[in-house]
């Protein structure tokens, strides 16, 4: 799919856990009238179901089989759009601990990429957040962003936002997931060469969004 030509618009937003991707993507979606997709949700659904159904996440084939079952079960929608799951179920400590093992399975990543393409094909203009959106899923996205911030800042923001868990626990989880996301051999987290990198450590949400909006406008994304 070539997003750089025609009216189709895909904006890719990547970065480590709790870097502010969701907040800024929602603001971009609102400003430009884009559909929004949180790709990490799919990895979380698979991790959640693996825990619930007793599938060992170290067993790549079993996890891919589980993903295929989930796709079959949600045939009428798209697993990505499934509303069966409560946000707090998918953001539990056990899912946070398990999701990195699921996300390092190459074949599973292929399945999730297909689901994202399927979803995006049905949208005229969208913004997608994740870890490999600008590098692997949409290498020719109209605009690419890589958001980051110091781990301490990300952990503090996450605790303030969610109001649960101690700062120390959340910081440990953030650092562990950074390490897992960046060191895996398949689609590791890294900025695409043509991504605009924004360190949000000492920026307000508005400052980050303003910068992203400016970049999108210079890439020809019109306000609808
Ligand atoms: O964005 P998130 O924290 O909800 O993502 C959950 C996990 O899924 C994250 O630890 C890494 C993985 N992930 C991924 O590997 N690739 C993506 N495009 C999105 C998420």
- Does residue 21 fall inside a structural domain? yes
From 131, 133, 139, 161, give the residue whose CB has the most ligand 1 atoms within 8 Å, as the site to mutate.
Answer: 131
Residue 146, burial from CB neighbour count under 10 angstroms (0-12, 13-18, 19+): buried
Quote the pLDDT of residue 168: 95
In a domain, 214, yes or no: no
Euclidean distance between CA atoms 181 and 41, whole angstroms: 15
Using 50, 70 and 90 to split pLDDT, how confident is the model at 3? low
Please give the distance, rounded to the nearest whole angstrom, from the Cα atom of residue 43 to the centre of ligand 1.
6
pLDDT in tens, 129-176: 999 999 999 999 999 999 999 999 999 999 998 887 899 999 999 999
Q: Is 67 contained in some domain? A: yes
**Is the per-residue pLDDT at 82 higher than 90?**
no
Does residue 110 fall inside a structural domain? yes
Ligand 1 neighbours, Cβ below 6 Å, are 17, 39-40, 43-44, 99-100, 103, 130-133, 177, 181
Q: Which tokens go with 57?
A: 């996440």
How far apart are the CA of 109 and the centre of ligand 1, in A? 11
Q: Cα(103)–Cα(99) distance, rounded to whole angstroms?
A: 6
CA dihedral sign of residues 202, 41, 34, 178: positive
Task: Check residue 6 and give its pLDDT.
Answer: 61
> CATH code at 110?
3.40.50.300
**For position 90, what pLDDT does the model report?**
94
Mutate to test the pocket of ligand 1, among 89, 99, 105 (most ligand atoms within 8 A of CB): 99
Please indicate, yes or no, if residue 224 is contained in any of the structural domains. Answer: no
Contact call for residues 170 and 120 (beta carbons, < 8 A)? no
Residue 55 lies in a domain: yes
Q: How far is the CA of 40 from the centre of ligand 1 (A)?
A: 4
Check residue 39 and give its pLDDT.
Answer: 96
Nearest-CA residue for ligand 1 atom 15 is 103
- The domain of 155 spans 9-207
What pLDDT digit, counting tens, does each position of 196-206 carry? 999 999 999 99
Confirm whether 166 is domain-assigned. Answer: yes
Query: Whole-angstrom Cα distance, residue 17 to residue 21?
Result: 8
User: Is 130 a member of any domain?
Assistant: yes
- The phi, psi pair for 141, rounded to 5°, reads -60, 150
Protein residue with its CA nearest to atom 3 in ligand 1? 17
| Structural domain count, the chain | 1
């Amino acid at each position: 799919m070539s997003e750089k030509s025609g009216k189709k618009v895909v904006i890719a937003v990547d970065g480590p856990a709790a870097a502010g991707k969701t907040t800024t993507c929602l603001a971009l979606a609102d400003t430009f009238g884009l559909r929004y997709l949180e790709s990490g949700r799919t990895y979380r659904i698979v991790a959640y179901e693996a825990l619930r159904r007793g599938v060992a996440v170290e067993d790549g084939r079993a996890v891919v089989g589980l993903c295929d079952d989930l796709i079959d079960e949600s045939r009428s929608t798209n697993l990505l759009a499934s509303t069966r799951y409560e946000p707090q179920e998918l953001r539990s400590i056990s899912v946070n601990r398990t999701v990195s093992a699921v996300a390092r399975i190459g074949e599973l990543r292929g399945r999730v990429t297909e689901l994202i393409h399927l979803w995006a094909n049905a949208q005229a203009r969208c913004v997608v957040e994740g870890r490999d959106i600008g590098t692997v899923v949409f290498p020719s996205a109209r605009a690419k962003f890589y958001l980051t911030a110091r781990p301490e800042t990300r952990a503090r923001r996450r605790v303030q936002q969610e109001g649960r868990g101690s700062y120390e626990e959340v910081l440990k989880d953030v650092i562990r997931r950074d390490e897992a996301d960046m060191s895996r051999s398949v689609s590791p987290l890294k900025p695409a060469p043509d991504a605009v990198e924004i360190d949000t450590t000492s920026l307000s949400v508005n400052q980050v969004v303003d910068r992203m909006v400016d970049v999108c406008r210079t890439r020809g994304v019109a306000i609808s």
